[in-house]
Amino acid sequence: MGSGQLARMFALEAIPNGYEVFVYSPDSHSPAGGVGAKEFVSEYDDKEALLSFLKSIDALTFEFENIPETALSIIEEFEKESNLIVRPSPNCIRIAQNRWKEKSSFREAKIPTVNFYPIFTDQDKNETPSKVSYPCILKTNTMGYDGKGQVKCKSKEELISTLSTLQEFNHIVEEFFPFTSEASVIIARFQDGTISHFRPSLNIHKNHILDLTFHPGNFSPNIEKNLVDFAKKLAEEIDYVGVFGIEFFIKGDEILCNEFAPRPHNSGHFTQDGGSLSQFSLQLRTLCNLPSPKEIPVRAVTMKNILGEDYKPGSKLWNQTLENPHYHLHLYGKTEARKGRKMGHWNYSGPNPESAFKDWE
Ligand code: AMP
């Protein structure tokens, strides 16, 4: 489901392994279509089109979580009546697309997270401002990503005034956590419960969008172990089968889980040039029950995203970078370079990975 860059990179793994890849989304000339995936172009809630897609495939996975409930229900029903394999389960997608359900799952799995409060009713709207510590962040409960749909409020008055402008409930309020670093773990869980994972990475965001990933993140052994244990706990708690990326805030010894994405994650793109398996290979392996190594050694890699405003093929910097064999360019086949749009990424896997993109602006 979906035909963007994550579907493209999945197809680039699956097709050379002998699989045919079909992608379903409302977009034609998509990033995945550009590398040989067959496109089914229709709205997600078009039942007839979705059923004809489901009938033509053997296994289904997702490249994004904001799939409408209508489509998830159709998939769930079809799965019950057929041999279609669906990984991860629609239920895991429902958890990931809803911040309230997501953070409640963290709580149930005893994974520490920020304090969060619902804004689902008039009563919540009236009572929450007195319960929260400030600053806090008001977030849309669904359809939020890369900081979209978020308002930071420094005081009770500011939260009350922001809440009074809301067109609909379906929000949550989170307390702001003054983290010193952000980390993520890419993990794969197979149907038999076996888990493979990469070491945690350190992530740097710019304007709420991932800018750089340093792998491995050079955390203390204790922090590293806790990050991986939390990722495993979540996978087991929600009976997840497939690959996910999970993000954390860190301050000293304190770790709070922010969110997880039920699919390969932008901060896992370092795996493509780490000299070993990529996260997309694990997505394929978990989907198709293929064997997998328990340990996945990866050399140090630094990943930098290329957003629309940084998309400058032919520039001096771009050409100098291509002359260095340690930089690997991945482009997503998007023609329109809008500001903030993810166009591709660089992976650097040579000496001194910490300074690979130091003087870039
Ligand atoms: P999100 O869409 O929830 O991942 O938020 C995007 C980014 O906003 C995160 O990567 C953080 O840098 C920042 N952020 C979100 N929630 C919080 C929070 N509760 N405390 C501090 N920073 C946050």
pLDDT score at 110: 97
pLDDT score at 361: 72
pLDDT band at 183, cuts 50/70/90?
very high
pLDDT score at 145: 73
Of all protein residues, whose CA lies closest to atom 9 belonging to ligand 1?
Answer: 208
Q: Does residue 229 surpass a pLDDT of 80? A: yes
Q: Is 147 within any annotated ligand binding site?
A: yes
Q: Is residue 106 part of a domain?
A: no
Q: Does residue 91 surpass a pLDDT of 90? A: yes
Asked whether the beta carbons of 347 and 303 are under 8 A apart, the reply is yes
Phi, psi of 143, rounded to the nearest 5 degrees:
60, 25
**Number of the ligand 1 atom closest to the C-alpha atom of 203:** 10
pLDDT score at 66: 94
How much distance in Å is there from the Cα of 17 to the middle of ligand 1? 37
pLDDT score at 227: 98
pLDDT score at 360: 87
Q: Is residue 94 part of a domain?
A: no
Among 208, 211, 213, say which to mutate for ligand 1: greatest number of ligand atoms within 8 Å of CB.
Answer: 208
Q: Do 144 and 75 sit in the same domain of this protein?
A: no
Asked whether the beta carbons of 311 and 333 are under 8 A apart, the reply is no
Phi, psi of 300, rounded to the nearest 5 degrees:
-65, 130
Q: Is residue 361 part of a domain?
A: no
How much distance in Å is there from the Cα of 147 to the middle of ligand 1? 7
pLDDT band at 88, cuts 50/70/90?
very high
pLDDT score at 154: 97
210's tokens: 């991932």
Mean residue pLDDT of the chain comes to: 96
Of 87, 107, 124, the domain-final residue? 87
Asked whether the beta carbons of 8 and 278 are under 8 A apart, the reply is no
User: HEC profile for 9-77?
Assistant: HHHHHHHHHCCCCEEEECCCCCCCHHHCCEEEECCCCCHHHHHHHHHCCCEECCCCCCCCHHHHHHHHH
Q: Do 315 and 232 sit in the same domain of this protein?
A: yes
Of 175, 190, 224, the domain-final residue? 175
d(CA 291, CA 343): 32
d(CA 30, CA 5): 9
Nearest to 318 by CA among 300, 299, 337: 337
Mean pLDDT of the region 192-220? 96
Ligand 1, CB cutoff 6 Å, lining residues: 114, 137, 144-145, 147, 174, 176-177, 182, 205, 208, 258-259
Q: Does residue 146 surpass a pLDDT of 90? A: no
Helices 47-55 and 69-81 meet at what angle, rounded to 10?
A: 40
pLDDT band at 32, cuts 50/70/90?
very high
Q: Is residue 95 part of a domain?
A: no
**Number of the ligand 1 atom closest to the C-alpha atom of 114:** 19
Half-sphere exposure of 216 (CA within 13 A, CB side): 17
pLDDT band at 158, cuts 50/70/90?
very high
Mean pLDDT of the region 335-358? 96
Q: Do 225 and 325 sit in the same domain of this protein?
A: yes
pLDDT score at 11: 98
Q: Is 24 within any annotated ligand binding site?
A: no
pLDDT band at 144, cuts 50/70/90?
confident
**Number of the ligand 1 atom closest to the C-alpha atom of 145:** 2
| In the chain, % of residues over pLDDT 90 | 94
Q: Is residue 208 part of a domain?
A: yes
pLDDT score at 295: 80
pLDDT score at 280: 98
Q: Do 232 and 326 sit in the same domain of this protein?
A: yes
Of 150, 175, 200, the domain-final residue? 175
Mean pLDDT of the region 103-129? 97
pLDDT band at 48, cuts 50/70/90?
very high
Q: Does residue 232 surpass a pLDDT of 90? A: yes
Among 65, 97, 137, 179, say which to mutate for ligand 1: greatest number of ligand atoms within 8 Å of CB.
Answer: 137
Cα distances (Å, whole numbers) of residue 289 to 237, 241, 271: 21, 10, 20
> Would you call the peptide bond into 31 cis, given omega within 30 degrees of 0 as the criterion?
no
303's tokens: 């990943």
> What CATH number has the domain bearing residue 340?
3.30.470.20
Mean pLDDT of the region 81-97? 98
Domain encompassing residue 136:
115-175
Q: Is 58 within any annotated ligand binding site?
A: no
Q: How many CB atoms lie within 10 A of CB 305?
A: 20
Q: Is the dihedral angle over the CA atoms 133, 137, 143, 146 positive or is it negative?
A: negative
How much distance in Å is there from the Cα of 83 to the middle of ligand 1? 39
Cα distances (Å, whole numbers) of residue 252 to 49, 86, 103, 175, 255: 51, 39, 22, 18, 8
Q: Is residue 49 part of a domain?
A: yes
Q: Do 81 and 186 sit in the same domain of this protein?
A: no
Q: Does residue 94 surpass a pLDDT of 80? A: yes
Q: What 3-state DSSP class applies to 332? A: coil
Q: How many domains does the chain have?
A: 3
Q: Do 79 and 22 sit in the same domain of this protein?
A: yes
Q: Does residue 319 surpass a pLDDT of 80? A: yes
88's tokens: 């991860």
Residue with tokens 């939390």: 230
Q: Does residue 214 surpass a pLDDT of 80? A: yes
